[in-house]
Amino acid sequence: MAQYDVIIIGSGPGGYVCAIRCAQLGLKTACVEGRDTLGGTCLNVGCIPSKALLHATHQLHEAQHNFAKMGLTAPAPEVDWEKMLAYKDDVIGQNTKGIEFLFKKNKVDWLKGWGSIPGPGKVKVGDEVHEAKHIVIASGSEASGVPGAEVEIDEKTVVTSTGALELPSIPKSMVVVGGGVIGLEMGSVYARLGTEVTVIEYLDAITPGQDAEIAKQFQKILKKQGLSFVLGAAVKKVSVADGRATVDYTLRKDDSAQSMEADVVLVATGRKPFTKGLNLDALGVTLTQRGQIEVDDRYKTSVEGVYAIGDVIEGPMLAHKAEDEGMAVAEILAGQHGHVNYTVIPGVIYTHPEVASVGLTEEMLKKEGRAYKVGKFSFMGNGRAKAVFAGEGFVKLLADKETDRILGCHVIGPMAGDLIHEVCVAMEFGAAAEDLARTCHAHPTFSEAMREAALACGDGAIHA
Ligand code: NAI
C-alpha cells in the first residue's frame, strides 16, 4: 500500500493535467487509469483522433475541389481507408505516449487499473488499496444514447463517436442523430469521403446554444459540402436488420412518422458523466439530478477530501474546461487560490470552416435586455482568406453599447479555433473593442478579420 498526497482517478485532460500540476507543486501524486493508454476519451477516442481524420479528409477535399484552381493538375487522390486509420492510430499513440513521458518526468505514478473509493482517503485499484490525503475524481463522460428512444448501440451499424472512428469501411450512407459538435465533425469526415450523410436534429437549428446567425451560415456551408439536414425531428427508434439500419423519427411540426435507411447510424445526442464502479453511493457523494457530481466552488464534493473536475461535474463537457479545473484544484490542494473563469471558455467546432465562440451570444444579450453593439466582418474582405478559398465565413464581435467592453465573439471561418484566443485574452483583461481595434495585426493574416470586426464596433471596418 502506497501513501500519496493526491490520487486522481482518470487520466483524461482533466486528470492528467491535474496530476502533473500537483506534482509540480510538490505533492506526491498518483493517477489511476484503467485503459491501456493514458489520455482518456480526448486522446484515445475523441478530440485527437477525430482531428486526425478531419485533417486527412480536408486534404482530400482540397485536392478534389481546389488544387486544379491553383494550377495543380493531378488525378484526385484515392482513399486508402486502412492507412488513414493507421495514421489516426499513430497520432493517438504519439499523444498518449507523450503523457506517459510527462508522468515519468514529473514523477507521477500511474496506478494501472480501474479505481474505486472504498472509503474516505482510500483508493482501490485491482486488489490494492492506496491511501491519499486528497482524492480527485476526473472520470469523464460516456455517450448518453438517445433519451426516450429505442436505440441499441452495437458500435458496428449503430455507433457512437468511438465506433465512428474505426468503421471497417467507408459507408455509402450514414444517418447522424444529433446536429451537435460530434455529429457535425464526424458527419463532415464521412461526407468528404463520399458517404451520403443526413443529420437528423431535434431542434430547428444545428449546434444548440450557438449564435443563431453563425449556426445558420454554418448549416448553409455544410449543405454545400454535401450534408443533408432534417431539422425539428425527434428520433424514436433505430433498428438493424441484415447489417442495415432503419431510423424512425417524427417531425415535430405535424407529428408525422417518417423513416430513413442507412448503412451506419451515428448517435451523437450528448454525453453523460461516467461514474460507474467508483462506489460513490456508498461513500455518500451527492449527485445532481442529471447524475453529475455536486461540488462547491473549490471542487469539493459532499465527502471530505474528495474532489471532482471535468465532465463528471456541471458545465460544458470540454477538454480545456477540464484542464483548467485540473490546474485549479491542484493549486487549491497545494494551498494556493486556483479558480476558473467560466465566462471566458472558448468553444470550437473543427469542421472546415471552423466555428469558434466565446462569451455571450446575441440571443443571450437580448434575453438579458442588455444594450450592445455588433461589429461584423466577412472573410470576403480578408485578402488571405480569399487566397485560400476561405471567404465564406464572418466574425461577429459583441460589445457593451455604453462601455465598449467585449462581451462575446463568434467566428465561422479559417482557423477560427485559433483566432478566437485573442478575444479570450482581451476578455480576461476586460478589454474594450477599441483595444482590439487599435492593436496592430500583421498583414496578410486571417486575424485581421478579428481587428476589422472590432473596428466595426467603432468608426467602421476598412475593408467592408
Ligand atoms: P451535443 O449536446 O453537442 O449535441 C446533441 C444534439 O442532439 C443536440 O443538438 C440535441 O438537440 C440533439 N438530439 C437529442 N436527442 C435527439 C433526438 N431524439 N433526435 C434528434 N436529435 C436529438 O452532443 P454531442 O455532439 O454528442 O457532443 C457531446 C459532448 O462532447 C458535448 O458536450 C460537446 O461539447 C463535446 N464535444 C466537443 C467537441 C469540441 O469541442 N470540438 C468535439 C466533440 C464533442
CATH number of the domain residue 406 falls in: 3.30.390.30
Residue 180 CA to ligand 1 center (angstroms) comes to 4
> Average pLDDT for residues 191-210, to the nearest whole number?
97
Q: 183 CB less than 6 Å from ligand 1? A: yes
Is 229 domain-assigned? yes
- Alpha carbon distance 464, 462 (integer Å): 6
Set 320, 410, 421, 443: catalytic member: 443
For residues 18 and 134, membership in a common domain is answered with: yes
At residue 187, what is the residue type?
Answer: G
- What is the per-residue pLDDT across 141-164, written as a single tens digit (0 to 9) for each? 999 999 899 999 999 999 999 999
pLDDT band at 2 (very low <50, low <70, confident <90, very high): confident
Question: Mean of the per-residue pLDDT values for the chain?
Answer: 97
For residues 304 and 155, membership in a common domain is answered with: no
Final residue before a domain boundary, out of 249, 269, 289: 269
Final residue before a domain boundary, out of 222, 246, 269: 269
Is 127 domain-assigned? yes
Contacts (Cβ under 8 Å, ≥6 apart) of 123: 7, 9, 32, 111, 115, 116, 117, 129, 130, 131, 132, 135
Is 340 domain-assigned? no
Is 339 domain-assigned? no
* CATH label of the domain that carries residue 18: 3.50.50.60
For residues 136 and 278, membership in a common domain is answered with: yes
Residue numbers of the domain that contains 174:
150-269
For residues 137 and 161, membership in a common domain is answered with: no
- What is the per-residue pLDDT across 431-457, written as a single tens digit (0 to 9) for each? 999 999 999 999 999 999 999 999 999
For residues 277 and 265, membership in a common domain is answered with: no
Ligand 1 atom closest to 183 (CA): 25
For residues 313 and 216, membership in a common domain is answered with: no
Give yes or no for a contact between 439 and 448, defined as CB atoms under 8 angstroms apart.
Answer: no
**443 counts as catalytic:** yes
- What is the per-residue pLDDT across 254-271, written as a single tens digit (0 to 9) for each? 999 999 999 999 999 999
- Alpha carbon distance 30, 59 (integer Å): 40
For residues 137 and 11, membership in a common domain is answered with: yes
For residues 112 and 14, membership in a common domain is answered with: yes
Final residue before a domain boundary, out of 239, 269, 299: 269
For residues 125 and 10, membership in a common domain is answered with: yes
Q: 91 CB less than 6 Å from ligand 1? A: no
Is 301 domain-assigned? yes
Is 341 domain-assigned? no
Q: 318 CB less than 6 Å from ligand 1? A: yes
Helices and strands of the chain, counted as H and E runs: 14, 23
For residues 239 and 123, membership in a common domain is answered with: no
Residue 141 CA to ligand 1 center (angstroms) comes to 13
Geometric angle at alpha carbon 353, from 375 and 184, rounded to 5° = 115
Is 342 domain-assigned? no
Is 463 domain-assigned? no
Minimum CA distance residue for ligand 1 atom 43: 182
For residues 36 and 62, membership in a common domain is answered with: yes
- What is the per-residue pLDDT across 299-320, written as a single tens digit (0 to 9) for each? 999 999 999 999 999 999 999 9
**How far, CA to CA in Å, does 447 sit from each of 20, 57, 377, 424?**
33, 25, 11, 14
For residues 84 and 45, membership in a common domain is answered with: yes
Q: How many structural domains comprise the chain? A: 3
